[in-house]
Chain A
Amino acid sequence: MTKLDKPNVTLFHCINSIDEKLTKSYIHKRNINVKLISLPCSSLVKDVYLLRAFEAGADAVAVLVCPENQCRHLQGSIRARKRVERTKKILEEIGLDQERLSVINVSITDQLAVSKILQEIVAGLSDLGPIRVAA
């Protein structure tokens, strides 16, 4: 089985943005290796965590944040978006496609959100292929 038959995806998420239990049950049924990393607020995400997720073998990384006007910590999702944008520039500089990293607003009430997001990520990866990381 080649690596992309079962892509590695790391999802950083704010604990307020998705239903973790529901998400895990969904992931269980899919042919994807998903690492879920929950944060008390998405603003805690930063360049080094995102880069290390790629180093650890993620083919794609996404940060799931609350809608901008629904962040419990007011500007958390805005901060997260800015951190992701900065990290995208680093990816570009080092020769990795920016498309491998995304920041997505999700509402906890949208139960299908994560499933849709994963479908899109997997579709995008079919063009990009697997990432090359240390053996």
Chain B
Amino acid sequence: MIVGEQKPVREIIDTIIRYKKLLILGCGTCVKTCFVGGEDEVAALASALRLALKQEDRKIEIEEQTVERQCENEFIQEAANAVARNEAVLSLACGAGVQALAKRFGDTPVLPGVNTTFIGIQQKPGLFTEECQGCGNCVLAVFGGICPITRCSKKLLNGPCGGSQKGRCEINPETECAWQLIIDRLTLLGQHKNLRAYIPPKNWQPSISGGPRKYIREDHII
């Protein structure tokens, strides 16, 4: 899922300052799961903003709505009436959701209420960790299902470095050493011979360094 964090309320207030009627639009998928953009967070932020602006004697009308997925036009469509009733939209989705709204509602300002941070998983309730950097050419098969690009602080493809200690990363001992995990898992799977193979430098062209990417499914395009 996409993981994000809500922006500080003060920063949000600065971005909405000129609007009197605001729609806060949540997304019921990834950002709901990481507690930043579902119905509950929309309601809490709306309440916090109303209280904050009242302290400053400023008036604002806030409408709240959450759609199933903000990155899909079909779901965004459900918010069209609410968008039309308001001067601006504060989106609590990831950056894709914000931009999908901006595309769909060209004449309405759309503002981000979330800092989109990474593609990750929920390890346990309340703990989200980064697992994939969308490199465009997945190499997990070689590394026992553990991504060295994302989880090794030095992105080493031929690790480990010399600094791993007791299974922890030398850059940040709070992080597990990805290479320790890779070795342990490959050993468990009986695939430790993968460790003898030299992995050549990665071609980063399919990643973000080649500019914004596209994925085309010809059979779905009319």
Contact = CB atoms under 8 A, between A and B. Distances in A.
Interface of A: 46-48, 51-52, 54-55, 90, 93-96, 132-134
Contacts of A95: 52, 55-56
Contacts of A96: 51, 55
Interface in B43-82: 43-44, 47-52, 54-57
Contacts, number: 42
B54 A132 contact: yes
B10 interface: yes
A76 to B, nearest CB: 15
Contacts of B51: 51, 54-55, 94, 96, 133
B8 interface: yes
A90 B55 CA distance: 14
Given A46-B40, A48-B40, A48-B43, A90 B48 contact: yes
Nearest to A56: B47
A15 B57 CA distance: 38
B84 interface: no
Main secondary structure of the interface of B (DSSP, over half): helix
B96 interface: no
A93 B10 contact: yes
Contacts of B44: 46-48, 51, 90
Interface string B14-57: 00000000000000000000000000100110011111101111
Nearest to B53: A94
11 contacts: A46-B44, A47-B44, A48-B40, A48-B43, A51-B44, A90-B9, A93-B48, A94-B48, A95-B55, A95-B56, A134-B50
Interface string B153-166: 00000000000000
A47 B47 CA distance: 9
Given A94-B51, A133-B51, 11 more contacts: A48-B44, A51-B44, A51-B47, A55-B50, A93-B52, A94-B52, A95-B52, A95-B56, A96-B51, A133-B54, A134-B50
A52 B47 CA distance: 6
A52 B10 CA distance: 19
A69 to B, nearest CB: 22
Nearest to B49: A94
A93 B9 contact: yes
Contacts of A133: 51, 54
Given A93-B9, A94-B9, A48 B47 contact: yes
A48 B57 CA distance: 22
A96 B50 CA distance: 12
- Of the listed residues A46, A90, A133, A134, the one surrounded by the most CB atoms of chain B closer than 10 A to its CB is A90
Contacts of B55: 94-96, 132
A99 B49 CA distance: 19
B220 to A, nearest CB: 40
A85 to B, nearest CB: 13
A42 B97 CA distance: 34
A108 B215 CA distance: 61
